[in-house]
């Protein structure tokens, strides 16, 4: 949209950024329809008219939030993607799978403001809107594809086969569920937050599952 440069943000860009961050949080927590533009403007310390001015309306801001997520994740993930491209042995690949799991736990499950991203994405999944298209092609698809590729390197099973794609979904799901069912987890575990300590526990269990699944492929089957 605007200039790519963000060296020193103009006051207008500051307003835009504040509105996006506020929208991200409120849309994620209360849904698109559950959030009023007045709330967003208040949280961003901007006036109500500014959202129509900068984004053309509530929906425009919603899309801008999705784009912000895609760009942020891209800028984080790109370096890692390059590293992952290098083909390696099965053991290295297995290790990279584990690391990916742990990163997903860190990103999706632990609470800080990155949690707003996760919440927003999950809500888009449950109420598909035009914003989901951008999230899917920008984040979901490439991530899933990459994991499928690493899986092939680790097990020899074809990356784009139906079972591999499903397998990767199960691996992601076992971890992401702790964000989704967060409230139920709190009550059942007696936790009041999911901080680093809890994340470590979750990651170790998920990692153990993954090891078991990989192990049965090496020694056991066929």
Positions touching a copy of itself (CB under 8 A) are 29-34, 119, 122-123, 125-128, 132, 136, 140-141, 144, 162-163, 165-167, 169-178, 180-185, 187-189, 201-202, 205-206, 208-209, 211-213, 215-217, 220
Indicate whether 8 belongs to the interface with DNA (CB under 7 A).
no
Indicate whether 15 belongs to the interface with DNA (CB under 7 A).
yes
CA angle 156, 96, 85 (to 5 degrees): 75
Selection from 36, 222, 165, 107 nearest residue 44 by Cα: 36
Count of residues that interact with DNA, criterion CB under 7 A: 22
Indicate whether 36 belongs to the interface with DNA (CB under 7 A).
yes
Selection from 203, 191, 6, 8 nearest residue 99 by Cα: 203
What residues between 38 and 57 interact with DNA by CB under 7 A?
Answer: 38-39, 46-54, 57
- Residues 114-120: contacts with CB under 8 Å, at least 24 apart: 115/179, 116/21, 116/24, 116/25, 116/28, 116/29, 117/24, 117/28, 117/69, 117/72, 117/73, 118/28, 118/179, 119/28, 119/29, 119/179, 120/24, 120/27, 120/28, 120/65, 120/66, 120/69
Q: How far is the CB of 123 from DNA (least distance, A)?
A: 15
Q: How far is the CB of 8 from DNA (least distance, A)?
A: 14
Q: Which is nearer to a copy of itself, 54 or 97 (CB)?
A: 97
Q: Do residues 207 and 102 make contact, with C-beta atoms less than 8 angstroms apart? A: yes
Q: Which is nearer to a copy of itself, 45 or 187 (CB)?
A: 187
Helical packing angle, 11-30 and 48-55, nearest 10°: 100
134 binds, among DNA, a copy of itself, none (CB under 5 to 8 A by kind): none
The only residue of 11, 190, 219, 220 in contact with DNA, by rule CB under 7 A: 11
114 binds, among a copy of itself, DNA, none (CB under 5 to 8 A by kind): none
Indicate whether 6 belongs to the interface with DNA (CB under 7 A).
no
Q: Which is nearer to a copy of itself, 58 or 177 (CB)?
A: 177
178 binds, among a copy of itself, DNA, none (CB under 5 to 8 A by kind): a copy of itself
Token pair of 163, please?
Answer: 């079972």
112 binds, among a copy of itself, DNA, none (CB under 5 to 8 A by kind): none
Quick one: 134 exposed, middle or buried, by C-beta within 10 A (0-12, 13-18, 19+)? middle
Residues that bind DNA (CB under 7 A): 10-12, 14-15, 35-39, 46-54, 57-59
């Amino acid at each position: 949209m605007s200039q790519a440069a963000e060296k020193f943000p103009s006051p207008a860009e500051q307003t835009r950024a504040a509105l996006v961050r506020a929208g991200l949080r409120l849309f994620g927590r209360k849904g698109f329809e559950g959030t009023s533009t007045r709330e967003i403007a208040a949280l961003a310390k901007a006036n109500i008219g500014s959202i129509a001015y900068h984004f053309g309306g509530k929906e425009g801001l919603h899309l801008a939030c999705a784009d912000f997520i895609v760009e942020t994740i891209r800028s984080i993930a790109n370096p890692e993607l390059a590293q992952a491209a290098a083909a390696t042995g099965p053991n290295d690949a297995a290790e990279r799978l584990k690391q990916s799991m742990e990163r997903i736990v860190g990103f999706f499950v632990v609470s800080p403001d990155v949690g707003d991203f996760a919440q927003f994405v999950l809500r888009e999944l449950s109420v598909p809107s035009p914003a989901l298209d951008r999230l899917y092609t920008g984040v979901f698809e490439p991530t899933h594809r990459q994991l499928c590729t690493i899986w092939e390197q680790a097990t020899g099973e074809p990356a784009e086969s139906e079972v591999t794609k499903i397998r990767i979904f199960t691996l992601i799901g076992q971890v992401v569920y702790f964000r989704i069912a967060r409230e139920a987890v709190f009550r059942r575990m007696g936790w009041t937050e999911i901080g680093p300590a809890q994340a470590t526990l979750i990651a170790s269990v998920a990692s153990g599952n993954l090891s078991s699944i990989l192990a049965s492929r090496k020694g056991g089957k066929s």
